[in-house]
Amino acid sequence: MTKKDKKEKERRSGPPPMKPGHQYLNPDKDDQMEIIGYYPNTLKIVIVWGLIVMTGGLLRLFYYWFPHLMIKSSHTRCDLQHASIVLLKDQYQQCFVSRVKTSQEEPLHNTWIKKRKVAAVTGVGYKTSSSSVVLESMTALTAVGCDSFNIDFSRYFITKKEKYIWNDETNVFQKMKGLEDNTDCSFFHKLEGLSKDQQQERRIRFGENSIRVHVSPVIEIILKQVMSPFYIFQMFSCALWLQEQYYYYTISLLVINFFSIASYIYQTRKMQRALRNTIAMSTIVSVCRGGQVYEDISSEDLVPGDVIEIPRRGCMMQCDAVLVSGNCIVNESMLTGESVPMTKTPLPRHDNEELFSIKEHARHVLFCGTKVIQTQQQGQDKVKAIVVRTGFSTTKGGLVRSILYPKPVEFKFQRDSYIFIGLLSLMGVVGFTYTIIIMIQRGFSASEIILRSLDVVTTAVPAALPLALTIGVVFAQSRLQKCNIYCISPNSINVSGTINVFCFDKTGTLTEDGLKLQGIVPVSANRYLPETETLQEWMGSSLFNAMATCHSLTVIEGETTGDPLDLIIFEATACSLAESRAAHSQFALPVSTVVKLPTTQKSDTNMLGIVRQFTFTSNLQRMSVIVSESGKGKDKLMVYCKGAPEMIISLSKPESVPPDFHDILESYTKHGFRVLALGGKDLEGEVREDQVQKVPRLDMEKDLNFLGLLVMENRLMEETTPVIHQLRDADIKTVMVTGDNILTALSVAEECGMVNETDNVILVQGRELASDSAPAYLEYTYANNDRVDAIPNSKDRNLRFALDGKTWAIIRQHFPDVLPKIVLKGVVFARMSPEQKAQLIESLQDLGYYVGMCGDGANDCGALKTAHAGISLSEAEASVASPFTSKKANIECVPTLIREGRAALVTSFGLFKFMACYSLTEFTSVCILYWVSQNMSDFEYLYVDMFLLATLAVTFGRTSGYDYLVKKPPIINLFSVGPVLSLLALVGVQICFQVFCFLHVSKQDWYVPLVSRWEYDYTSYQNTAVYIMSCYQYIILAITLSKGEPYRRSIFTNYWFLGNIVVCTAITLWLTIYPVPGAVTFLELKPSPSVPYRFMYVGLAIMDFLICIMLEDYVLSETFISYKLQEKLEEWLAGYRHTYSLLEEEMAGDDWPPISNQQPINPSVPNNVKMTSKNTTIQNSNVSIQDETFKFDKNNHLQGYVNTSMHKL
C-alpha cells in the first residue's frame, strides 16, 4: 500500500468502497462484508489431504491458523446459488467461514413475504434488496394490501450471531429481519395476536428470543492455546530436549506451561460466564392470542408479530417492541447513558401508509434491555406492544455482538515482537546451516548432526520468551488489584501504557449520578426575583402549583414512582399523591391523579387534580397538564407547562418574559446547570369543561405566562478535576463523549479542566437540507461569543471542537474529509449514541492514537470494548465488556492504570531485549564451542536456564510504576533506532568478550586441548572460559536493561531483584575463583590452575558491565545519538510518523475552519422577543452562515434556520 493509499484509508469513514464484480452483504453499511461462494472439489480435497499426510500434519496446522486458505485450496469458487460454504471478509480484512445450511422441515404454504421497494445496486456485479424480511400470514397481508412473493427460507447461514437467508429473486443472501423496516405504521394497529401454530412457524424462521453467550469447553480452550505458534515451538523444543535427555529444564518448562494454561482457562471461562450471566435474562410475558385471550409464555418464545401486554408495575424488556396503546415511562440509560427516564407514547394511527422506521419512530419503541418503570392505561385498554425484533437482532443483541466481535486492535509492540522472533528464527537457520557444515566436516553421524543442528535453533529462539513477557504483566495485575482495579484481559495492561488519548463519559464518571434541585428563580411582573432554595413563601402560587402537578408520577404499592427528575421537583414541594376515591370525588371533572398540598398551605385550594396530561416528547421539548384546582368555590382549570427554557418562552406571552432571559439562562448553562422553565395560564373562558379532553394540545400550550426557572445541578466528583489536570500535564488528550446536552457537557469540560482558558472552543453544527445539490452544510461558531473580538482568525489559534451526535452523523455521511480534523481537535462530543461512541474511538485509532475509555453504563460497552484500554466504573453490563473494572466509582483509577501500564510495558520491553540478548549470547557460546566440537554440559545449561535466567526474569518484573506521569510515553516500536542500536551494541560487546576469553585461554602455557573420555565429555578450559564469562554477561544484561525512572521506580526499590543479583553474582564468583570439587564435577568445569588468571574473568566482567552501562544509559540513550538518528529517520520516512502528527502540521498551516463571528442562535425563539445579546432582535440579526463544501441559497433557508434549535436540547 502506498503512502497516499494509506492516508486515504485512514481518513475515510464507514465501510471501504465496493469493488466492481464482487458481491457484498449489507452494502454501504458499517457491517458490510464481501462474500464468496465455494463448493467441494473432490480432486482438490484428495490432493490437500495427501499433502497433509506427507508433511506429517504440518500443512493442516498451517490451515488451522488460516482456515480461509483451506477453503480456497480444497473447494472451487462458484455462484452463491450453488455454494455450500461461503467465505466472508469484513472491512478489517478479517475472514470468516460459514457453512450454508438447508432446513429439512416441510414448507409452510401460508407463509409469505411482505415486499417493499426492491432496489437494484449496479456497478458491483449483483442486485440486492432493501426489503425487510417479514413473515405474515396470507390473510393478514391481504388485509393491508401488501404485495407478496415466495421466498426460500430453508437455505441460510449464520455469521457473527446473525442469520442470512437466500433470496431467489435477487440471487443474494440477505439479513433476516423482523418488522422493523418498510412496514406500514397502520399495520401494527391491525394485529390482534398470533395463534400457537403461527408462533411456532415463526420460531422456526427467527429462532429463539434469547441472547446466549457461548462458554467455551475446557478442551476447546486448551486446543486453541496449544495450537498457537508459540506453544507449538515450545512443544517442539521440549521434545528435542527430552530426546537429548535434558530432563530438568524441560520438565520445569512443561510444569510452568501447565499452570499458565490452567490460569488462562480459568480467566477465560470466568469472563465468559460473567458475560453470559449478565446478559442472559428471561421472564414470563403475557401474549395475546386474539381478542381478549391472553396466555403467559416464556419471553424466549416471543417472535416478531406477537402482541404483548406491558405490566402495570413495569418490567425489563426482552425484545424490541412498538407501543400501540398506553404510555410507558422507561429508563433507557443502557442506550443513551442518561439516567433520566422518558415517556414512550403509542405509535400514531396513520392513514397515509407511512412506513415504520426504528430510527424515526424511536419514541414509540420499547427497546430490549431497557427498564419500563411504569405504565399508564388509556381508559380500559391494556398497555400493549407489538414485537418487532428478537434475539441478537434487537438493540441489546447488537450491543452484545459489538462485545463479542469488536474491531481488531493492533498493538505495535506485539506485532514487532513477532517480526523480531522471525528474525531470531532466521538467525537460528544460519546457526543450523553452520552446525551442519561443521559437524559434517568433523565426521559426526547423521542423527547427531540433526539433533545438534535443531538444538541450535532452539537456542537462538528462546522457548521461554512467552512466559517471560507475561511476568511484568502478572506483577502489574497484582499491583492494580491492590488499587481496586481488576483486570479480565491481562494483555491489555501493556497496551494501557501507550495511551495518549483518554475518553470519558460524563454522568456517573466525571459527575455524580443524578441531579439535585439547586434553586428556583421565580418571575414576577416581567422581572426575575432572587434565586431561592425554599418554596414556603411561594405556596399557593402558580409556580408552586406547576411544580406540584406538571409530572407523570403515580403511586405503585404505596410508593411514588416515575421520572427521577419529576420526583426531585415534586419532593421539593412537600406535596403527596392521594389515592383514595374520596379525594377524586371532590372534583367536578374526572381526574387521573390527585395532588394533596401541604397542610401549611395558606390558599383556599387544598387539592389539585390532573385532568389531562400531555406527555413529554423530545421533538416538542416539553410536557403539560390541565389541572383542576379544588377549593371552597367552583373548580378552576389551569394549564401548566414544563420544558426547555427556549421552548417555554416561545409559547409564552412576550410581555411575561424578562428582557434579560437569555443572559440569565446562559449564566446557568455555562456553569453546568441543567435548567427547566415553567409556564401556565388560566383556562377560564377559553374552554368548556365538556371539551377539556378534546381540545388540541397546541391550543392549550399557547399564550402562557412565564412563571420562572428550575435550576438543577449535576456536580463534579471531587476526584475529577485533579485527574484531568494530571492527564493534561502528561500531554494525554482528554475527550468527553456523553449522551447529555452539549452546553452542559461544555460547562463540565471547562469546570474540570478539559478546556482551559487558552482554548478556543468552536461549536460545529450540521444541518441536512432537502436538496440534492446541497444535502447538508456545516457551521462553525465560537462557543463563547464574548471572546470573538479578541481572537484573530489566524493560523496559531488553539482550537477545540464541540458537536453533538446529529452533527457527527452528518459529518460521517457528507463530510468524510472533515472528520479527521474534527476528531483531532474535538474535546466534547454530546448526545452520542452507543454506536457513535464506538465510531469516535475507531476514528481516533485511525489517526494513530492509542485510546482509552472510561464509562459506567451499558451504553458505553461498545466504546469500552473498541478502545485499546477500557475501564468500567460499574460492575454491571459495562464490566463484562471492559478489560478493566474499578471498584472505586471515580476516575482516580485512570492515572494509576496508565502508570502501571507504562511500567508493565517497559518491563516487557526490557525483558524482551533481555531474552533476545540472552538467546543470542547463548547462541554465540554454542557456536564458538561447536567450532572445536564442544558444547555446554546439561547442568551448565540448567544453571543458566533455571537459576540465572528464570530468577532474574521473575524478579526483573517486580519493579512498580513511577509515582508520576511524564509527558513522553515509553517506546513501543522494537525497530526504532534506540532499541535496535542498543540490542546490536550489547550483543556485540558480549560476543567480543566471549571470543577474547576463548582465544586467550588457548594461548596460556598450562592450556591442554580437550581429549574426550566419553561421548558427551565437554570438560575443557575453553568450555569453562566461555561459560564463566557468559554467566557474568547474563547478570550484566539484566542490570543494564532493568530501567527505572521515568516509567518505573528505581531498581533499588526492588529488593527481590537486588537480592537476586547479589546471590547470582556471589555464586558465579564462587564458581570462578574457588569452586568446590563437587560443583566442578556437577557442572563439568575445568578451572584454570592459575588463581590470578581466574581473577581476570572478574576484571573482564567489571569491564563488560561498565561498557554496557555507558552504552545503554549515555551513548545510546533517547536524549543522545538514537534520538538524533530517530529524528533524521522520521524526516526521511514521513510515512513513519502518526497520521495525527502530520494532520496537526497540516492544520497549523491553514486558517480552517471558516468561523462565523456570530453567537450560536438561541433555539426556538419567536421573532417578537427582544434579545439582550449583541444582536438586537432575531429578525434583524446578520447571521453569517459558513458553508462547508456545499453551496446553497442563504435567503431561502435563513428563516427556517433561525426558527430551528441549533442544539436540540
**CA–CA gap between residue 1180 and residue 620 (Å, rounded):** 26
**CA–CA gap between residue 811 and residue 819 (Å, rounded):** 6
Angle, helix 805-814 to helix 834-846, in steps of 10 degrees: 50
**CA–CA gap between residue 220 and residue 216 (Å, rounded):** 6
**CA–CA gap between residue 925 and residue 935 (Å, rounded):** 8
Per-residue cell: 589: 371533572
**CA–CA gap between residue 944 and residue 918 (Å, rounded):** 10
Q: Is 358 exposed, middle or buried (0-12, 13-18, 19+ CB in 10 A)?
A: middle
Residues 6+ apart with CB under 8 A from 683: 626, 637, 638, 639, 700
**CA–CA gap between residue 3 and residue 19 (Å, rounded):** 21
Q: Which is nearest to 960 in space by CA: 852, 1060, 1045?
A: 1045
Question: Quick one: DSSP state of residue 1177?
Answer: B
Determine the 3-state secondary structure of 718 from DSSP. Answer: coil
Per-residue cell: 478: 497484582
Q: Which is nearest to 333 in space by CA: 393, 254, 274, 399?
A: 399
DSSP 105-153: SPP-TTEEEE-------TTTTS--------EEEHHHHHHHT--EE---T
For 824, phi then psi, to 5°, come to: -60, -45
Give yes or no for a cis peptide into 1153 (omega within 30° of 0).
yes
**CA–CA gap between residue 550 and residue 118 (Å, rounded):** 47
Q: Is 147 a catalytic residue?
A: no
Find out whether 1121 and 1115 touch, Cβ atoms under 8 Å.
yes
Q: What is the β-pairing status of strands 884-886 and 869-872?
A: parallel
User: Cα 634 to the chain's mean position, in Å?
Assistant: 60
Question: Sign of the CA dihedral 274, 275, 280, 281?
Answer: positive
Q: Degrees (nearest 5) of the Cα angle 692, 697, 700?
A: 70
Question: Quick one: DSSP state of residue 489?
Answer: -
Per-residue cell: 171: 440471487
Q: What is the β-pairing status of strands 826-830 and 733-737?
A: parallel
Question: Quick one: DSSP state of residue 961?
Answer: B
Distances in Å between the Cα of 577 and the Cα atoms of 373, 553, 616, 639 are 18, 9, 20, 19
Find out whether 794 and 1185 touch, Cβ atoms under 8 Å.
no
**CA–CA gap between residue 110 and residue 135 (Å, rounded):** 10
Determine the 3-state secondary structure of 311 from DSSP. Answer: coil
Q: Degrees (nearest 5) of the Cα angle 609, 615, 620?
A: 135
Q: Is 1057 exposed, middle or buried (0-12, 13-18, 19+ CB in 10 A)?
A: buried
Give me the catalytic one of 306, 505, 566, 1104: 505
Determine the 3-state secondary structure of 828 from DSSP. Answer: strand
Q: Degrees (nearest 5) of the Cα angle 1123, 993, 949?
A: 80
Find out whether 10 and 847 touch, Cβ atoms under 8 Å.
yes
H/E segment holding residue 762: strand 760-768
Single-letter residue type at 374: Q
**CA–CA gap between residue 1168 and residue 1041 (Å, rounded):** 74
Find out whether 815 and 1188 touch, Cβ atoms under 8 Å.
yes
Active site residues: 505
